[in-house]
């Protein structure tokens, strides 16, 4: 087949060597594929927060669709029909040998395997849910998966009571012995996604490029205008929406960068560091665009490393998060934890809402995704690995029916791994096996 209808689903627009992947465009799917039910790709995102949750202000009292929003969940109210709260799940393999709940719990976060207690190179864990999915569908995109986060650090040395930092600083594992380090610098992530920066180019050459070359988006917009003549009304709107989103992100990163590094080549790089709040939002923007561009369909994200001691003074909470999470029943600590947890859920809302605002055919990016949000432990004082705080957002392209509080009996220790394999199954993996999983969860 020749002509524009032979374009693949992952079409590109661009000029003069600059290219940006287009979002899903129904107009570019061959008629045969459309007749067979081809549609937007399904995506998986695994979102980690450290130090557990103040469960008393998290857990709804009622079950089903009519549950009342708790204080911590309240920021998600506008998306009520796009996520479910799931309680009563256990990850018993996350329980450490002796002390070390934070590292062991983080290592087992989406492997549901039992991390070997070691500070040396003989680490042993299990393949993670995101990598099971990436092995199956990663070849369809430029990046099989992305591992992103906020806090860095090497995957060696001791991080928690005899546990290697490999467990405390990574949630993605390609195999039982291979953790996948995350990218934490939005500058690096943006460069990797859009390939617009060449660090070997001199300042003089950068200036020459700025004089004689337009931005990557200027080339893309020119091609998009030509492409638009061949698209339907819905797809033309989506191309405009996509380019507007990329331009907004480009401006945001350029604004955050100091004047001395405001541009290099076709795409300006961000500052090496950003204020924490801005850092989190920019990473969310990058995750959405990476999925919207179909550059990847599998992402893991760590809001912090295991047992994070970050201070949240910007929301009026003094002291270290990890220390506060050892609340000892102190009402003052409960109040501080609730503020931190609400802020974390607000960041989740920002991400999910941005995904929902990306249209894909008659649906949207959030509808076609499954997003898992949880922590390495449940209650920070008990360090328990039962009754986890879990949000499952998105419809997975219609596979899930969110909008409920799904409560499993805590005493049953229902396997968290069975939820994760249900997520992996939605992207076409047949009978996935993860950690201690027995069967993919149904009724989600």
Percent of the chain surpassing pLDDT 90: 68
Neighbours of 405 (CB within 10 A): 21
Tokens 């604004």 correspond to: 255
pLDDT one-digit tens code per residue, 297-352: 999 999 999 999 999 999 999 999 999 999 999 999 999 999 999 999 999 999 99
In 228-289, at which residue ranges do the beta strands (DSSP E only) sit? none
Task: Give the DSSP letter string of 239-255.
Answer: HHHHHHHHHHHHHHHHH
260 falls in which pLDDT band (50, 70, 90)? very low
Domains observed in the chain: 47-185+296-345+360-444 (3.40.720)
pTM: 0.82
15 burial (CB, 10 Å; 0-12 / 13-18 / 19+) is middle
Please provide residue 146's backbone torsions phi and psi, each rounded to the nearest 5 degrees. Answer: -125, 135
pLDDT band at 258 (very low <50, low <70, confident <90, very high): very low
pLDDT tens-digit map of 279-291: 999 999 999 989 9
pLDDT digits (tens, 9 = 90+) for 416-434: 999 999 999 999 999 999 9
pLDDT surpasses 90 at 268? no
Six-digit token string for 153: 């650090």
* pLDDT single digits (tens) 6-52: 444 445 554 444 455 566 666 655 443 343 346 789 999 999 999 99
Q: Specify burial of residue 411 (Cβ count, 10 A radius: 0-12, 13-18, 19+).
A: exposed
Q: Which of 117-121, 203-207, 424-428 has the lowest mean pLDDT?
A: 203-207
Side-chain half-sphere CA neighbours of 419 within 13 A: 30
Size of the chain in residues: 444
Instruction: Report the C-alpha gap between 176 and 192 in whole angstroms.
Output: 27
Per DSSP, what are the bridge partners of residue 179? Answer: 173
The CA distances from residue 139 to 70, 127, 286, 307, in Å, are 41, 18, 20, 34
Contact present, 163 and 119 (Cβ < 8 Å) = yes
Q: How confident is the model at residue 273 (pLDDT cuts 50, 70, 90)?
A: confident
* Phi, psi (deg, nearest 5) at residue 53: -140, 150
The DSSP output letter for 148 is E
Tokens representing residue 40 in the block: 């937007």
């Amino acid at each position: 087949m020749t002509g524009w209808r032979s374009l693949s689903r992952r079409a590109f627009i661009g000029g003069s060597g600059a290219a940006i992947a287009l979002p899903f465009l129904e107009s570019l799917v061959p008629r045969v594929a459309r007749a067979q039910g081809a549609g937007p790709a399904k995506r998986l995102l695994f979102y980690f927060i450290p130090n557990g949750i103040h469960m008393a202000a998290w857990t709804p009292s009622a079950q089903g669709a009519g549950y009342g929003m708790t204080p911590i969940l309240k920021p998600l109210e506008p998306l009520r029909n796009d996520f479910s709260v799931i309680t009563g799940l256990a990850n018993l393999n996350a329980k450490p040998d002796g002390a070390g709940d934070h590292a062991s719990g983080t290592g087992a976060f989406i492997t549901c395997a039992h991390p070997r207690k070691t500070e040396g190179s003989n680490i042993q864990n299990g393949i993670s849910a995101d990598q099971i999915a990436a092995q199956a569908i990663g070849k369809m995109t430029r990046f099989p998966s992305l591992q992103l986060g906020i806090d860095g650090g090497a995957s060696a040395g001791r991080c928690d009571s005899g546990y290697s930092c490999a467990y405390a600083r990574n949630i993605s594992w390609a195999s039982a012995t291979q953790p996948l380090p995350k990218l934490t610098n939005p500058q690096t992530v943006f460069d990797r996604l859009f390939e617009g920066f060449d660090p070997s180019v001199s300042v003089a050459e950068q200036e020459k490029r700025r004089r004689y070359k337009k931005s990557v988006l200027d080339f893309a917009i020119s091609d998009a205008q030509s492409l638009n003549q061949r698209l339907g009304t819905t797809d033309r709107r989506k191309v405009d929406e996509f380019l507007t989103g990329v331009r907004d992100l480009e401006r945001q990163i350029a604004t955050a960068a100091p004047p001395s590094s405001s541009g290099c080549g076709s795409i300006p790089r961000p500052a090496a560091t950003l204020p924490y709040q801005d850092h989190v939002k920019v990473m969310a923007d990058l995750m959405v665009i990476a999925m919207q561009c179909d550059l990847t369909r599998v992402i893991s994200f760590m809001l912090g490393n295991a047992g994070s001691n970050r201070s949240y003074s910007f929301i009026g909470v003094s002291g270290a998060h990890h220390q506060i999470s050892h609340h000892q029943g102190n009402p003052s600590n409960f109040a501080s934890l609730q503020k931190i947890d609400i802020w974390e859920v607000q960041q989740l809302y920002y991400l999910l809402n941005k995904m929902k605002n990306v249209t894909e055919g008659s649906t949207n990016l959030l509808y076609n995704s499954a997003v898992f949000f949880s922590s390495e432990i449940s209650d920070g004082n008990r360090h328990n690995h039962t009754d986890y705080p879990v949000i499952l957002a998105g419809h997975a392209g219609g596979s899930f029916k969110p909008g409920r509080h799904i409560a499993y009996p805590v005493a049953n220790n229902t396997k968290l791994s069975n939820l994760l394999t249900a997520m992996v199954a939605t992207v076409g993996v047949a009978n996935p096996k993860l950690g201690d999983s027995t069967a993919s969860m149904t009724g989600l």
